[in-house]
Amino acid sequence: MRLFWKLFCSMVMIAALACSLGGFVLIDGQFRAGLDARAETVMTENALLRRTLLRELQFSGGLDRAAAVRLTEETFATAEERGITFRIADSQGQPLAGSRLPVESGLARALGTEQQGWELLQTSGRAYLHASSPLALGGETVYLENWQDAGDLFAAREEQYHVFFYLLMGLILLSALSALAVSAWITRPLGRLSAAARQMAAGELSQRVEVRGSDEISCLAQDFNQMAEQLEQHMRALTDTARRQEDFLRSFAHETKTPLTSIIGYAELALSRPDQPGLVQESAACIFREGRRLESLSRKLIDLIVLENERLRLRTVEMSDFLEQAAAVLRPGLEQAGIRFETRIAPGTAEIEPDLMESVCLNLLDNARKAVEKEGLIRLDGIRTEGGYCIRVTDNGRGIPREELARITEPFYMVDKSRARTQGGSGLGLAICRRIVDLHGGQLEFESELGRGTQVLVWLKGEENA
């Protein structure tokens, strides 16, 4: 059964049950109150009759059973004309004088010699309230009994039940209409959630539901939106990962295909022309060059794979000495290429693995060398920060398009592939740098503008923050 109908049926049943019980309790309570009031009237009437009878017996000079029977026979006809019905009965409940009780009763036998009581008698659709009290006459006890018709109380109750039945039908109809509206109002957000879930299952991960209010269903909608947001982010991440893996395989195949084709071609050429030593030597040189290129590529791939599972043992290093040593490695080559190389290194310490961090610095400086023209400028800065140390490499070279910055650390990704291959690049250097910096718990940031140069920042933690 759908939730809508569960809510509808539950509310109608609860309303019907509550109204039924409430009406029954109200009508029954009113009936019992009327019955108790009528019983009190009957008991009061019995007490008045008893006092009257005793007074008349005293005036007549006889307080015996015979006098009581005679007086009752003389007065009961007049009393009946006034709507008062009573009689005198012995201790066994047998009538002695007076009106005839519509239903035989054992109330007199159940009462003691000093007890007064009443009961409800019912027969043939009629009801009576019967009261009895003892009279001690000449050493003998008789009972004065009176009764009243109580059928009007039962008739009134039946009439109330009939009226309440029709009223209950109206209340159930009204509650059904209200339950329809409330059920639709409650389940409408769930319908929107269900529709959004179906659309997400069909692949539309951008689906969201509107959140209204702060009740449980609104919290559910908010949780659904958060789940959808996380799912969409995860799917984007998975799609991006799949794309990077596909690009990696495509680039790897392309990068290995080119040198292998050259090696095979020059080998065939050398084999087909053994009588031309110069051509053989030139082919051997090309084969050697392309073989070294494959060796460099495989070495960088191995470095990247090893770094995925690397656990570094960091130590505190004075960064000014470290960066000066790294700069000294490339300074001669840069000066020979006509590139100005400046350093501005502040003292400070950082927690690093020196060999791997030197690889980062050399890769960044080498990329800067490839980006600048002759008489360009490269600057290496070491900056002490509040939380650690920052290495900054700046050049005034070609720059990187803004839309390419997010992908330059992907394996095999090259902004200018033809120029990179000419300069011996493979597209793995920045990927290795990113992984090394991540292992140090640092951050690698790039800022670049086409035609104006690039700035790379390596943020490292200090000794206290490692």
Residue 423 has a pLDDT of: 45
How far apart, in whole angstroms, are the C-alpha atoms of residue 68 and residue 60? 10
Q: Kindly report which listed range (285-294, 416-425, 452-461) carries the lowest average pLDDT score.
A: 416-425
The band of 419, judged by pLDDT with boundaries at 50, 70 and 90, is: very low
pLDDT tens per residue across span 215-273: 777 788 888 888 888 888 888 888 877 776 676 666 556 556 666 777 788 788 788 87
Asked whether the beta carbons of 409 and 415 are under 8 A apart, the reply is no
pLDDT tens per residue across span 329-362: 888 888 888 889 999 999 999 998 888 788 888 8
* Sequence ranges of the domains in the chain: 3-159, 205-309, 311-465
How far apart, in whole angstroms, are the C-alpha atoms of residue 306 and residue 198? 44
**Token code pair at residue 130:** 């019967």
Higher-pLDDT residue of 297, 6: 6
pLDDT at 426 over 70: no
3-state helix, strand, coil in the chain (%, to 5): 60, 20, 20
SS3 450: coil
The band of 376, judged by pLDDT with boundaries at 50, 70 and 90, is: confident
Minimal CA–CA distance to 393: which of 328, 466, 444, 465?
A: 444
SS3 342: strand
Cα 301 off chain centre by: 45
Residue 334 has a pLDDT of: 85
CATH superfamily of 311-465: Histidine kinase-like ATPase, C-terminal domain (3.30.565.10)
Asked if 3-159 and 205-309 have one fold, the answer is no
pLDDT tens per residue across span 278-312: 877 888 888 887 777 676 666 665 665 666 556 66
What is the reported pTM? 0.47
DSSP strand pairing (340-345 vs 377-384) = parallel
CATH number belonging to domain 3-159:
3.30.450.20
**Token code pair at residue 19:** 């109204």
pLDDT at 116 over 70: yes
The fold for domain 205-309 equals Helix Hairpins (1.10.287)
pLDDT at 466 over 60: no
How far apart, in whole angstroms, are the C-alpha atoms of residue 382 and residue 317? 13
Q: Kindly report which listed range (53-57, 337-341, 422-426) carries the lowest average pLDDT score.
A: 422-426
